[in-house]
Amino acid sequence: MKILITGGAGFVGSALAIALKQNYPHYQVLALDNLKRRGSELNLSRLKAAGVEFTHGDIRSKEDFDALPAVDAVIEASAEPSVLAGLDGTPDYLINTNLFGTVNCLNYALKHKANFIFLSTSRVYPIKTIETLNFVEEATRFALSDEQPVPGVSAKGIAENFPLDGARSLYGTTKLASELLIQEYNEFYGLRTVINRCGVLTGPWQMGKVDQGVMVLWIAKHYFQQQLGYFGYGGTGKQIRDMLHVADLYRLIDWQLHHLDQVNGEILNVGGGLESSASLQELTQVCQEVTGHTIPIKAVAETRTADIRLYVTDNTKVTNLTGWKPEIGIRRIVEDITAWLAENEKDLAPILK
């Protein structure tokens, strides 16, 4: 099998590329990336050592695809992933990458009749609707109630039939627009596709920032003994997310590559689920235990733009269709990332400290 991974030097793309090459040494795995995100250059030596073929290119450029060979499958893992991207009034890079870049990926896949696996985001679900959901305030977290004002949500989390009306961030909108185009290519061009709406992805080699990669950011601040803050929702740190280790995501993508007929045309919510969820307050406790460091955390009551109180993925559909479910919990995620920080401290300190 020949596979192209766009965003192949990014956190998710490089993890998938390296794992695929390790598990299928006879596969040809190509990684395409423009290396815009700081830290992605650190993955080049890792890709080379694994036998992944790297091409410096940009999905915004149709000409960059013309130089690529035919492949059997495309994994579209490229994106400007920040939920705050474009909110400063300059959304051009965001839209050109996340929407028009996806069109170039689709046309390349169509040209070679390649299967198309798309990594979308839970951010396609509207902010205001999520913020009006019924919840209970527990000792260390907010939790979803079973009784809700809209379909597609329960105490287990948010499912694929959650309403899509309303604003969701420019980032979420570009990904949803891409999803709509992918469905058209599937229906009218016969392109075989699957869309994965991923929750919070994390793991080693993610260059965490405030607006994207919060898990790594939180652990790194503990590791390097720097300050953090509980922002919004009263400053209590009770806002909750589920976390999916990239190794768990890889197991699903591996399955989809080899069984695409069984999920062709599907949209799947993919995340850590309730079992691998944590509030910032709970995450802080685990970070303290694993790193041995207690750091100052300020409380800021004011809620930030585009933030949400809680998001947990309901994995029922993807589990029923594929048998997949996440296996790596919060504590092991923290342990993995802490070990990675210790092993690569010299290279990572300038980026994460």
Domain of 61, CATH number, reads 3.40.50.720
Q: Given this model, what pLDDT does residue 331 score?
A: 98
> Which pLDDT does position 84 carry in this prediction?
87
Q: What is the pLDDT of residue 335?
A: 98
DSSP 209: B
- State how far the Cα of 337 lies from the Cα of 214, in Å rounded to an integer: 12
270 domain-assigned: no
Residue 210: the pLDDT is 73
- Burial (0-12, 13-18, 19+ Cβ within 10 Å), 187: exposed
- Residue 311 or residue 84, greater confidence: 311
d(CA 233, CA 309): 7
**Nearest to residue 334, comparing CAs of 208, 216, 249?**
216
Residue 268 belongs to some domain of the structure: no
Q: Residue 205 corresponds to which amino acid?
A: W
Of all residues in the chain, what percent carry a pLDDT higher than 90? 94
Residue 140: predicted pLDDT: 98
In total, how many domains does the chain have?
Answer: 1
pLDDT of residue 327: 98
Q: Could you tell me if residue 144 is inside a domain?
A: no
In a domain, 187, yes or no: yes
Structural domain boundaries enclosing 178: 1-125+168-198
264 assigned to some structural domain: no
In a domain, 303, yes or no: no
User: What mean pLDDT is predicted for residues 53-58?
Assistant: 98
The yes-or-no verdict on residue 82 having pLDDT over 90 is no
Asked whether residue 225 is domain-assigned, the answer is no
- Label residue 188 by pLDDT band (50, 70, 90): very high
Q: Could you tell me the pTM of the whole model?
A: 0.97
Reported as a pLDDT band with limits 50, 70 and 90, residue 211 is: confident
Cβ atoms of 245 and 333 within 8 Å: the answer is yes
Q: Is residue 112 part of a domain?
A: yes
Check pLDDT > 80 for residue 179.
Answer: yes
Q: What does the pLDDT average to over 264-289?
A: 98
Q: What is the mean pLDDT of residues 217-235?
A: 97
